[in-house]
Amino acid sequence: MNKLAVVVTTPPYSNLSVTALEYIETALKSGIELVGVFFYQDGVIHANQQVQIASDEFQCLTQWQALQLTYKLPLHLCITAGEKRGLNDEDTNNIHPIFTVSGLGELVELANKADRVVQF
């Protein structure tokens, strides 16, 4: 009975996303089962592999990659929010492969699977 879902609505150039990443990492290290992360609103910008954050600033994508690799963490992207922000899973395919293209139905699934949902 220790399942967590996280909703990320903040973009990769926001320090609020660092807080989200630190929270998620701490939860995973504490043995809490993370059923998935759902990216919504400006949170979907995390998935855009063409976004360039200055090298002396925090690199969210590197952290997401590390978490996904270590914990097989499901990273779901709301594609409607993504398309509004230039993400495309067909022609240009600028979505980083660690992200799963999903819709709001996936958020319903995650909310049902989790004992707790935390939104950033």
Q: What is the dihedral of CA 65, 67, 73, 75, to 10 degrees?
A: -40
* Piece of 53-61, 65-73, 90-98, 105-113 that binds another protein (CB under 8 A): 105-113
Q: Could you say whether residue 7 binds another protein (CB under 8 A)?
A: yes
Rounded Cα distance, 11 and 53, in Å: 11
Which lies closer to another protein via its Cβ, residue 63 or residue 74? 74
Whether the CB-CB separation of 50 and 88 falls below 8 Å is answered with no
Q: Could you say whether residue 20 binds another protein (CB under 8 A)?
A: no
Site for another protein in 64-93 (CB under 8 A): 80-81
* Piece of 14-22, 23-31, 57-65, 100-108 that binds another protein (CB under 8 A): 100-108
- Residue 78 annotated in active site: yes
Site for another protein in 33-62 (CB under 8 A): 40-41
Please provide the distance, in angstroms rounded to a whole number, between the alpha carbons at the two ends of the chain.
22
* Options 77, 78, 95, 98, the catalytic residue: 78
Whether the CB-CB separation of 34 and 24 falls below 8 Å is answered with yes
What residue type is assigned to position 80 of the chain? T
User: Hey, which residues does 76 pair with through a beta bridge?
Assistant: 38, 100
Where in the sequence numbering do the catalytic residues fall?
A: 78
Q: Which residues bind another protein (CB under 8 A)?
A: 7, 40-41, 80-81, 103-105, 107-108, 111-112, 114, 117, 119
